[in-house]
Amino acid sequence: MTYHESRNTVELHTSDMCFSPSETLESGQCFRFSKKSPDEYEVTAMGKTLTLGGENGKIIFQNTTLEEFENIWLNYFDLKRDYKQIQDVLTANDIIMRDAVDFAPGIRILKQEPWECLISFIISQNNRIPMIKQVVKNLCERFGEMSTDGSFSFPSPSVLARLHESDITECKSGFRAKYILDAARKVESGEVEINGTEKTETGTLRENLMRIKGVGEKVADCVMLFSMKRHEVFPTDVWVKRIMQKLYLNGKDTSLKEIRAYAERRFGAYAGFAQQYLFHYARLNKIV
């Protein structure tokens, strides 16, 4: 992997072809991005707005510098990790995973900011991706701070904690407004720690997150996988449940708990990567 800067853009060259901006962004991990052209996405994250595009080993990062690329985007897109090795392990003796990986080999597991990720996945419950994006956008535009480039920051826990539930409902969050408020209060007060949790054991971290109203196992696992590098967890939603039952469990109706346990046993330390390949595969192929 090599990269170089020229005129406010950074070009990234990879030989393994395990990074696709579209596959990564469209795989349902993050919600503040938009498609600018068939091959260009605008992402707002880490307090920055980035435009990126390209496929097949050559990715262009616009509106950034070499320093910013190395300090922020390399980490955010998890570009230092060897995904070829992960795919090799997952697809060894697994024809199902072979198909899922081949369908979108360019998916990366992002390293998002925990607070934004937490609120995003609280909003995600019983909701659809376009609506989740809209609510997140509303929160940012109403309560975030506008930066010089005109984009909005994600509002901090202290800002949201001081709001009334009705302020949040106006962002079209529906019944989740009280959950967002509870999350803001518990993070703001320090009752639930979401930063500097690297040393916390995954099970303990999950229990802590679930002290927030509106955070169950699935939301907690998404937050841990997409913002805390807990790659051994296997967030089990309806899509993952359906595809696991269909492809791995002979179509037998199986509880979420059992599916999660089965997957964590089968995929081990790479369960989170497997989950993301399977989710994207199931959703875009409309597998029932």
Binding mask 242-281 for DNA (x = CB under 7 A): -------------x-x-----------------xx--x--
Determine how many CB atoms are found less than 10 A away from the CB of residue 268: 13
Q: How far apart are CA 45 and CA 32, in angstroms?
A: 7
Of the candidates 24, 4, 205, the residue with the CA atom closest to the CA atom of residue 108: 24
Q: Which of residues 120-139 bind DNA (CB under 7 A)?
A: 124-131
Q: How far is the CB of 248 from DNA (least distance, A)?
A: 15
Q: Which of residues 18-77 bind DNA (CB under 7 A)?
A: 27-29
Q: How far is the CB of 175 from DNA (least distance, A)?
A: 3
Contact 112, 31 (CB under 8 A): no
Q: Which of 111, 186, 218, 241 is catalytic?
A: 218
218 catalytic, yes or no?
A: yes
Structure tokens at 176: 């989740």
Contact 68, 53 (CB under 8 A): no
Binding mask 153-182 for DNA (x = CB under 7 A): ----------------x--x-xx-------
Structure tokens at 180: 């967002």
Contact 97, 281 (CB under 8 A): no
Q: How far is the CB of 221 from DNA (least distance, A)?
A: 8
Contacts of 214 (CB under 8 A, 6+ apart): 122, 125, 176, 178, 179, 180, 182, 183
Q: How far is the CB of 23 from DNA (least distance, A)?
A: 12
Residue in 183, 185, 235, 247 binding DNA, rule: CB under 7 A: 235
- Which residues of this protein are in contact with DNA, per CB under 7 A? 27-29, 124-131, 169, 172, 174-175, 210, 213-220, 222, 235-240, 255, 257, 275-276, 279
Report the catalytic residues: 218
